[in-house]
Amino acid sequence: MLRSPRASRGPGLLTRRFTVLAALAGLAAAGCGDAGVDESGPPVLFDPCGPVALVTDPGLTAAQSAGLAAGLALWNARANTRLSLASADAGAGAGDPPAGGLPIHFQDAAPPFHGLYDAPRGQVFINTDLAGEALAVTIAHEVGHAFGLVHISADQRSSVMNPNNLVVEPTLEDVDTLAMRWGVCLASAAP
């Protein structure tokens, strides 16, 4: 099921929301903000079988743009998803993401906090302290949540969805989990 997220809000509210969610998540012993998040309303999930634009706020740094491109490339290469990048100013109105877009916001947060998928609002928050491979993997992890994936204990198996993960890219098992949830539109690409 694909539901379009609500229009994004002003940066002041986003900063306060991210800070509050980070605090609620206990500064993320799991490295991801799904503990203590307001679960009012059904989660907004994005269908990996269709095109999904990661909608960015204006003013990204070169490192943030590179991390976003690398993070979506991890899913596109492994699961043959159709993720792309779009800027929030490409929307229909001020602050409106393109239809079906997944808003991605970069915010300051405590170092152990990597990212958050705000499921009721269908948007991702990423810590500005991340860079390089850790940024790409964190983006892939949070996009996994947007696709409906949940945390997988590292004791169970290696997965992009391991809590506090900064190095494991999407695995064939992650792609299989997506295919079980969304259908055969997803095909594993050999590593």
Backbone angles phi, psi at 55, to 5 degrees: -95, 120
Please report the pLDDT score of residue 124 as a whole number: 97
Is a pLDDT exceeding 50 seen at residue 76?
Answer: yes
Which of 56-70, 80-94, 113-127, 162-176 shows the lowest per-residue confidence on average (mean pLDDT)?
80-94
User: Which residues share a beta bridge with 51?
Assistant: 82
Please give the helix or strand (H or E) that residue 126 lies within, else none: strand 123-127
How many CB atoms within 10 Å of residue 182?
20
Distance CA(147)–CA(48), nearest Å, equals: 6
| Average pLDDT taken over every residue of the chain | 78
Sheet holding 82-87, edge to edge: 82-87, 51-56, 102-107, 123-127, 115-118
pLDDT score of 161: 97
* DSSP class per residue in 132-191: HHHHHHHHHHHHHHHTT-----TTT---TTSTT-SSPPPPHHHHHHHHHHH-TT--PPP-
Using a pLDDT cut of 70, give the percent of the chain over it.
69
Rounded-to-integer distance, Cα 27 and Cα 19, Å: 9
Contact 159, 168 (CB under 8 A): yes
Q: Residue 32 — pLDDT band, cuts 50, 70, 90?
A: low
SS3 75: helix
Beta-bridge partner residues of 102: 54
| AA identity, residue 33 | G
Least confident of 44-48, 69-73, 173-177: 44-48
pLDDT at 17: 43
pLDDT band at 11 (very low <50, low <70, confident <90, very high): very low
Mean pLDDT to the nearest integer, 157-177: 96
- What is the distance between the alpha carbons of residues 120 and 61, in angstroms, rounded to a whole number? 28
pLDDT tens for residues 89-147?
A: 655 444 444 566 999 999 999 878 999 999 999 999 999 999 999 999 999 999 999 99
pLDDT (mean) for 44-61: 92
CB atoms within 10 A of CB 36: 14
Can you tell me the mean pLDDT for 19-33?
41
